């Protein structure tokens, strides 16, 4: 189909419009978070990963069919060689008005290097994963990480004019005593903080039933110390936001386990190998690599067929955390 025509929007069989694409550019990462991947990961051979040109072409197809927000993920997207070339390509859609927002989720270790270039490409906002402010616990959670690199990245992003949102995976135990410090840290810098329930994705070698923390319980505990006022503010994702009156900052809650939000799902995910996943909590995927190498029309047919089969909801449950719900690690799609 010529790019000067307007195809029908992307709809699933439940009438939900897909306007948000999360595109993984690599499965590789420079840290090994315990909730995300195994300590000794077997990463994909480079020949299996789509080229940057193919990722750009695939993005163009989605954008021309109504995707208004695109987030680059990994693994860690900034470890992908020449990934800034992809950002520069996608920035043209921001300039034309075809794309409302181009963002990324990063662990922050390389953000100091790329913050200014990201801002120059039209990126306005970045999500940075940060589960603790304690250097030793950060190394324990990430297995090999250096928190000083992340803190430098956050400072560089703010200095470059990027809006920063910190993401923290909630867990039972020490985290419950650290969350107040994370709130204060984020809000002092004008950043939002979003808390995320751990999901049963892939075998990490740990028993998630011992670490998963319901955000309903955590929110009730936080409300004993902070005045939390519900907000209508939305970043286009599943987070529910509260204003913390003592700081004036926003605190988000993403609760896939304790508070299903699938009825509002507006997103799909594509892996770095070109597999389209319409649900984070489902094994089903449709290959876009073959169609991409054939024609744009073939890609569109594959996308629409996948959306017709998109499940109504995921099947995650707090009482079934001991075993992975899907074999795929979180690092395959970036959460």
Q: Can you tell me the distance from the alpha carbon of 113 to that of 215, in angstroms, rounded to the nearest whole number?
A: 34
CA-CA distances (angstroms) from residue 255 to 112, 231, 233, 327?
Answer: 30, 16, 17, 21
Which pLDDT value is given to residue 289?
Answer: 96
Q: Can you tell me the distance from the alpha carbon of 62 to that of 234, in angstroms, rounded to the nearest whole number?
A: 22
Residue stretches of the annotated binding site: 22, 29, 33, 35-36, 71, 75, 105, 129, 165, 199, 262, 265, 267-269, 279
Which portions of the chain are predicted below pLDDT 70? 1-5, 200-210, 233-237, 256-261, 281, 313-335
Domain ranges of the chain: 20-332
Residue stretches of the annotated binding site for [4Fe-4S] cluster: 29, 33, 36, 262, 265, 279
Question: Is the distance from CB of 90 to CB of 121 less than 8 angstroms?
Answer: yes
CATH number belonging to the domain at 20-332, selected among 3.20.20.70, 1.10.357.10, 3.90.1150.10, 3.40.1190.20: 3.20.20.70
β-sheet bridge partners, residue 269: 22, 277
DSSP letters, 60-127, are HHHHHTT--EEEEESS-GGGSTTHHHHHHHHHHHHHHTS-SEEEEEE-STTHHHHHHHHHHTT--EEE
β-sheet bridge partners, residue 24: 73
Which pLDDT value is given to residue 331?
Answer: 61
Q: 92 phi and psi, to 5 degrees?
A: -65, -30
pLDDT in tens, 7-30: 888 999 889 999 999 999 999 998
Which residue has tokens 């995650």? 316
Strands 228-231 and 240-244: antiparallel
Residue stretches of the annotated binding site for GTP: 22, 71, 105, 165, 267-269
Four-point Cα dihedral 144, 114, 74, 251, nearest 10: 80
- Burial class of 283 by CB neighbour count within 10 A (0 to 12, 13 to 18, 19+): exposed
Rounded to 10°, the helix 147-159/111-120 angle is 20
Q: 99 phi and psi, to 5 degrees?
A: -120, 130
Which pLDDT value is given to residue 1?
Answer: 45
Residue 311 half-sphere exposure toward CB, CA atoms < 13 A: 13
Question: Is the distance from CB of 24 to CB of 333 less than 8 angstroms?
Answer: yes
Alpha-carbon 226 to chain mean position = 27
- Burial string for 131-149 (b: 16+ CB within 10 Å, else e) reads bbeeeeebeebbeebebeb
Q: Helices (DSSP H) in 191-311: which residue ranges?
A: 215-222, 289-292, 296-308
Which pLDDT value is given to residue 34?
Answer: 80
Residue stretches of the annotated binding site for S-adenosyl-L-methionine: 35, 75, 129, 199
Residue 110, Cβ neighbours under 10 Å: how many? 18
- Burial class of 243 by CB neighbour count within 10 A (0 to 12, 13 to 18, 19+): middle
Question: Is the distance from CB of 141 to CB of 33 less than 8 angstroms?
Answer: yes
Host H or E run for residue 312: none
| Token pair in block for residue 123 | 């990126």
Find the length of the chain: 335
β-sheet bridge partners, residue 81: none
Which pLDDT value is given to residue 326?
Answer: 62
């Amino acid at each position: 189909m010529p790019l000067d025509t307007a195809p029908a929007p992307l709809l699933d069989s439940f009438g939900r419009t897909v306007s948000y694409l999360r595109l993984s550019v690599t499965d590789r990462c420079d840290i090994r978070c315990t909730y995300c991947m195994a300590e000794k990961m077997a990463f994909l051979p480079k020949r299996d990963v789509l080229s940057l040109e193919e990722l750009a072409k695939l993005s163009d197809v989605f954008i021309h069919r109504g995707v208004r927000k695109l987030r680059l993920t990994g693994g860690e997207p900034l470890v992908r060689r020449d990934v800034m070339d992809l950002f520069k390509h996608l920035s043209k859609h921001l300039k034309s008005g075809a794309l409302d927002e181009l963002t990324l989720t990063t662990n922050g270790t390389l953000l100091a290097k790329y913050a200014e270039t990201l801002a120059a490409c039209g990126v306005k906002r970045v999500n940075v994963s940060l589960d603790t402010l304690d250097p030793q616990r950060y190394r324990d959670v990430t297995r090999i990480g250096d928190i000083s690199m992340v803190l430098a990245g956050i400072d560089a992003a703010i200095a470059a004019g990027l809006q920063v949102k910190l993401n923290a995976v909630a867990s039972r135990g020490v985290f419950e005593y650290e969350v107040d410090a994370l709130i204060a840290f984020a809000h002092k810098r004008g950043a939002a903080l979003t808390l995320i329930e751990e999901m049963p994705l892939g075998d990490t070698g740990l028993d998630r039933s011992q670490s998963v923390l319901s955000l309903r319980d955590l929110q009730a505990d936080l409300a004993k110390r902070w005045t939390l006022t519900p907000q209508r503010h939305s970043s286009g994702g599943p987070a529910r936001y509260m204003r913390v009156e003592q700081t004036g900052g926003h605190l988000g809650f993403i609760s896939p386990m304790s508070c299903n939000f699938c009825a509002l799902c507006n997103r799909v995910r594509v892996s770095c190998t070109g597999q389209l996943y319409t649900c984070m909590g489902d094994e089903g995927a449709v290959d876009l690599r073959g169609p991409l190498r054939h024609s744009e029309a073939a890609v569109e047919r594959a996308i629409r067929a996948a959306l017709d089969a998109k499940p109504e909801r995921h099947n995650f449950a707090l009482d079934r955390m001991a075993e992975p719900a899907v074999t795929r690690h979180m690092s395959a799609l970036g959460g």
